[in-house]
Structure 1
Amino acid sequence: MKASVPMSSVRYLLKAAEAQGLDRQTVLSSLDITHDEIIQHDTFPAYRYGMLYQKIMWLMQDESFGMLSGGKVPNGTFRMMCLCIIHSRSLAHALYRCSDFYEICRGPTIKPVLIKKGRFAMVTFAPLASSSDNIEALAVPESKEQLRTTLSMWHHFICWLIGRRLSLKAAYFTSERPDDVEYYKTLFQSEVRFNQHANALVFPASYLDMPIVQTEDSLRGFLKTAPYQLLVMVENDNSLKSQVMAMLGKDFSREMPSAEEVASALNMSVSTLRRRLNEEKTSYQLIKDDCRKEAAITYMNAPQLSINDIAALMGFDEPSAFFRSFKKWTGMTPGEYRKSEEYLKFGKAMRRT
């Protein structure tokens, strides 16, 4: 089972890069991606999409590339923002600090804003106090991929901060209703509304009191793979398997939800969850194992990550435990894998980024 993104996301990314002067073929060739792959398939492997996104952000010198920001965000900005919020006492405190950080950093003209109303809270976006730009001018129908990417990345980032999935009540978009509404529902696992007055993530306010579980140590490994863990990581369908994959995400440094917790979040009994997954010829345990295996291989393909880095990203307290699991998943130890042809192929592509 390979997590993938819709090819429309890849085409949008390449089109946006071309519009800003990058040569498409040069970018694709540097990552061993062929033109035929882009035009002949409906989906694209998630880990390769992460490599492509990382490459384009580096070439553009813009960490907000493809997102709602109103301007270029210099490389290194995201790291500094994370360091500013990683010691926050709660999610609410971290989000308020994010907003303050955007007010003083160079590049963007739009910042995230936290609004609390009764039982629910909302993360939306607003112009900086020093900006005269109108945020509505940036939310045109042609930017629906930009809006979806923005809300998806912020959703995954918040999940990473608190070490668990942020269960949304709804995701709001100012763009027109797209053709692939089901993909939005799979991605956000919530109600999705279009033609709204703002782009926003709406969730129970109780999450705001949750502590930030990440540390400067866990941040280092996270940054080495960014934006991989923040990108879309589900199949382009609305199968139950895809919904479960969306809930698991790609942050395995946190404890995975139990089958009971997943079933409850999907408003079904555990027996129904098991039966329906069985009908799709899979199981919750198999999905978890496959997701962890894929994530481990993705991290192993990144030469900038040490084995200890990868063990921490995968949630193992001891590297030796990761060694045993990796050999169980692949039939090779991490050291043997990094001498294999598969690693030499993908490691070469990663080193070009």
Structure 2
Amino acid sequence: MITLGFVQEALEPMRERGLDVLPVLRMAGITPSELARPQGYVTADQYGALWLGIADALRDEYFGFGARAMRPGSFTMIGRAVRDSPDLERALRRTLRFLTLIIDEPRGVLTVEDGLAIITLHETSPARSAFAYRAYWIVLHGLACWLVGRRLPLRRVDFRGPEPQSGSDYRLFFGAPVTFDCARSVLAFDARFLRLPVNRTEAALKEFLRRAPANILIRYRYDSGLNADVRARLNGMPPALWPDFEGMAKILRVPPSTLRRKLRREGEGYAEIKDELRRELAFTALASTDRRIGDIAADLGFAEPSAFHRAFRKWTELTPDAYRRQKRADGQPSF
């Protein structure tokens, strides 16, 4: 689910231009009374329809945030231009060049530093809104995840400009340390993912585009491969009972060496998969329940609350208490 704060941010470019937002709200099945609820939310499909309606009304798929308009149809052309890339690195570089040709600024540049793939947005203009950078990252990250058929966990997301009121919502959405008031907007992930092959057919591209942008507004679902099998097994049992690596190999009836090799080929190790699943469960428990943090830590399989605190600070640079307070101050439910 997507918070109404995200809806309000998306509608702001239309309001700034004096355009009537009611037609796009009706198209998305969102009523004005729903929009007024302090703790409401919409589905990804509703938000996807809203996104398309706003893009059509503005004649700009980037909502007027670029130096030039991203005319409707641009995202489709990008998908066709990068589908046959040999690997993710080439696909991302093509995507960034294509986006620069279309919108001019912000101009994304990919570099590799200290084991991280870092995409930096360069601008000559004053800082844009946090939502403008968020929209750029959603499109880029969503396309990248689809191209390689798996979610790419992020290591860091920096925003040029001040923190919005719904700052904790940004942290939950990206599932990584998020920092505001930075010199430049930056998105980073492990550089080893750049080697992942791109293997998408024309038919798959048509299906992806047919469902966009709703399908890139939610966390990418693993739909195939051994990674998906491991996740399905882990999701079927309490985290405190998750097996160690050798135990998972026995459950899947494959030699440990084969499991390790195949998971690495798909871009993520067993410990990283468990860490990502624990992070998502922690976000949900803290945002939507009043349970004691020590109990949440135990349920997630942490031997001590202090270990949970250390892990949570690594994920978000916040303590669990601070994250919960910030989430409640926003008055919004989780995704």
TM bracket (short chain): 0.5 to 0.7
CA contact (8 A) 1:175 1:194 kept: yes
Aligned to 1:36: 33
Query: Which among 119, 124, 130 is matched to residue 123 of structure 1?
Result: 119
8 Å Cα contact 2:122/2:184 also seen in 1: no
Superposition map of 1:243-254 within 5 A: 246=219, 249=220, 252=223
SS of residue in 2 equivalent to 1:202: strand
Q: Alpha-carbon deviation of 1:59?
A: 2.4
- Given the alignment of the two structures, is residue 267 of structure 1 paired with residue 253 of structure 2, yes or no? no
Correspondence 1:12-23 to 2 at 5 A: 12-23=9-20
Task: Tell me the matched-pair count.
Answer: 247
Q: Is the 8 A contact 1:92 1:209 kept in 2?
A: yes
Give the aligned partner of residue 85 of structure 2. 88
Higher mean displacement: 70-79 or 19-28 = 19-28
Letter in 2 for 1:119: G
Instruction: Give how far 1:219 is off.
Output: 0.7
Shift of 1:38: 0.3
Q: Measure the CA separation in 2 of the matches of 1:144 and 1:37.
A: 24
Q: Aligned match of 2:53 in 48, 52, 55?
A: 55
Distance in 1 (alpha carbons) for counterparts of 2:27 and 2:276: 46
- Secondary structure (helix, strand or coil) at the match of 1:217 reads helix
- Partner of residue 191, structure 1: 177
Sort the Cα spacing of 1:209 and 1:49 in 2 relative to 1 into closer, same or farther, 3 A.
same
Residue 203 (structure 2) aligned to one of 217, 220, 230? 217
Q: Distance in 1 between matches of 2:133 and 2:277?
A: 34
**1:97-123 Cα distance to aligned partner (Å, 9 max, x none):** 123323444x44333211111311111
1:107-256 map, 5 Å: 107-126=103-122, 134-135=124-125, 137=126, 139-140=127-128, 143-231=129-217, 233=218, 246=219, 249=220, 252=223, 256=228
Q: Structure 1: which amino acid aligns with 2:53?
A: K
8 Å CA contact 2:67–2:104 kept in 1: the answer is yes
In the TM superposition, residue 168 of structure 1 has moved relative to its aligned partner by 1.3
Aligned-partner Cα distance in 2 for 1:113–1:95 = 9
Distance of aligned partners of 1:192 and 1:22 in 2 relative to their CA distance in 1, 3 Å threshold? same
Partner of 2:95, secondary structure, is helix
Alignment partner of 1:267: what SS? Answer: helix
Deviation, 1:52, is 1.0
In the aligned structure 2, how far is the partner of 1:180 from the partner of 1:62?
25
CA distance in 2: counterparts of 1:103 and 1:262, whole angstroms? 37
CA drift of 1:266 comes to 5.0
Structure 2 distance, partners of 1:165, 1:266, is 14
CA distance in 2, matches of 1:86, 1:96: 13
Distance 1:10 1:150 in 2: 16
The 1:98–1:269 alpha-carbon spacing in structure 2 relative to 1, beyond 3 Å, is: closer
Change (3 A) 1:250 1:269: closer
Q: Which secondary structure does the structure 2 equivalent of 1:169 belong to?
A: strand
- What is the alpha-carbon distance in structure 2 between the residues aligned to residue 19 and residue 192 of structure 1? 27
Deviations 1:244-286 (A, max 9, x none): xx4xx3574777361277874453898xx79x98x98xxxxxx
Aligned pair in 2 of structure 1 residues 62, 87: CA closer, same or farther (>3 Å)? Answer: same
What residue in structure 2 maps to residue 309 of structure 1? Answer: none
- Residues 180 and 63 of structure 1: CA distance in aligned 2, closer, same or farther (over 3 Å): closer
The one-letter amino acid of 1:152's match is I
* Identical positions, percent: 27
User: Amino acid of the residue matched to residue 111 of structure 1?
Assistant: R
Counterpart in the other structure of 1:328: none
Deviates more, 1:38-47 or 1:193-202: 38-47
Whole-angstrom distance in 2 between the partners of 1:99 and 1:31: 30
Amino acid corresponding to residue 60 of structure 2 in structure 1: D
**Which ranges in structure 1 are unaligned for 5 or more consecutive residues?**
128-133, 234-245, 281-353
Once residues 33 and 187 of structure 1 are traced to their aligned partners in structure 2, the CA distance between those partners, rounded to angstroms, is 21
Q: Is the 8 A contact 1:172 1:194 kept in 2?
A: yes
Q: Displacement of 1:150 after TM fit?
A: 2.2
For the residues of structure 2 that align with 1:269 and 1:30, how far apart are their CA atoms?
Answer: 34
For structure 2, the residue ranges without an aligned partner over 5 or more in a row are: 235-241, 243-268, 290-335
Establish whether residue 98 from structure 1 lines up as the match of residue 95 from structure 2. Answer: yes
Question: 1:323-338 counterparts in 2 under 5 A?
Answer: none
SS in 2 for 1:194: strand
| Separation (CA, whole Å) in 2 of partners of 1:163 and 1:8 | 29
What is the alpha-carbon distance in structure 1 between the residues aligned to residue 6 and residue 270 of structure 2? 27
Give the residue type in structure 1 aligned to 2:76: R
Structure 2 residue matching 1:156: 3-state secondary structure: helix
Shift of 1:175: 2.3
The 2-side partners of 1:53 and 1:156 are apart by 15
User: Quick one: structure 1 residues 40 and 201, their matched pair in 2 at CA, closer, same or farther if it must change by over 3 Å?
Assistant: same
Taking the aligned partners of 1:214 and 1:169, their CA distance within structure 2 comes to 26
Q: RMSD across aligned C-alpha pairs, in angstroms?
A: 3.1
Quote how far apart the aligned CAs of 1:27 are.
2.5
